[in-house]
Amino acid sequence: MERLTGQQVYNKLVEAYGKPRWWPGTPYEIMVSAVLVQNTAWTQVEKALAAWGEPEPAKVLEMPVEQLQETIRPCGFMKAKAATIRNVSEWYRGYGFDIEKARATSLDRLRRELLGLKGIGAETADAMLVFALHKPSFVIDAYTRRFLDRMGYGFTDDRQIRRFFESGLPADYQIYGWYHWLLLEHGKNHCGKQPTCDGCAFSTVCPGRIL
């Protein structure tokens, strides 16, 4: 059975959902919200950010941890996430809070550094790499895995998924970011835990479709 290439999937997603969005906020806000959104609805992140004003790393490092915890309370896991945000901010201080300086560093090195921070796993690291650091490192989340699984690709681990996307596309962080956003949108609209196959752009080719 012929399967769609990564590029073909992308084209169909754009056709279905239109011009993709981008992760909102300053680079530091993007890094912070990537932590806040872990296992949490985006609406909760918006709530915390609205009450926050504009997060700034130097201030976060001066702030008492308890205050930081209260600020991010709506997002849940506040003790762990507050600690993680501090870890990220300390890491960022190593670059003088200078995003261009960080961006001048290689993808591999940045990724290793981020994965070394407690509270940052592969998904969060890749989201930060793409949206804040402008590096092409494909974001693989639960929606992505579920979609590919239902589509019958038969991937057994994230390495295969990464190869599927990264070998079939130009190594362009913008494409990766847009692609991730489209997969997320698709997951929310049709391919969530409980699939809604009515009106799905892939319902004619998807072996996992529910009739």
Residues that bind DNA (CB under 7 A): 23, 33-34, 37-44, 73-80, 117-125, 127, 141-143, 180-181, 184, 187-188, 192-194
User: Could you give the CA distance from residue 117 to residue 34 in angstroms, rounded to a whole number?
Assistant: 14
Q: Which residues are CB-contacts of 66 (< 8 A; sequence separation ≥ 6)?
A: none
The end-to-end CA distance of the chain, in Å, is 20
Closest CB to DNA among 34 and 98?
A: 34
| Dihedral angle of Cα 43, 102, 97, 26, to the nearest 10 degrees | -30
User: Could you give the CA distance from residue 211 to residue 197 in angstroms, rounded to a whole number?
Assistant: 7
Smallest distance from the beta carbon of 42 to DNA, in angstroms? 6
Smallest distance from the beta carbon of 54 to DNA, in angstroms? 18
Smallest distance from the beta carbon of 65 to DNA, in angstroms? 14
Smallest distance from the beta carbon of 44 to DNA, in angstroms? 6
Closest CB to DNA among 110 and 127?
A: 127
Closest CB to DNA among 109 and 118?
A: 118
Closest CB to DNA among 6 and 76?
A: 76
Tell me which residue of 97, 155, 166, 86 sits closest to 126, measured CA to CA: 166
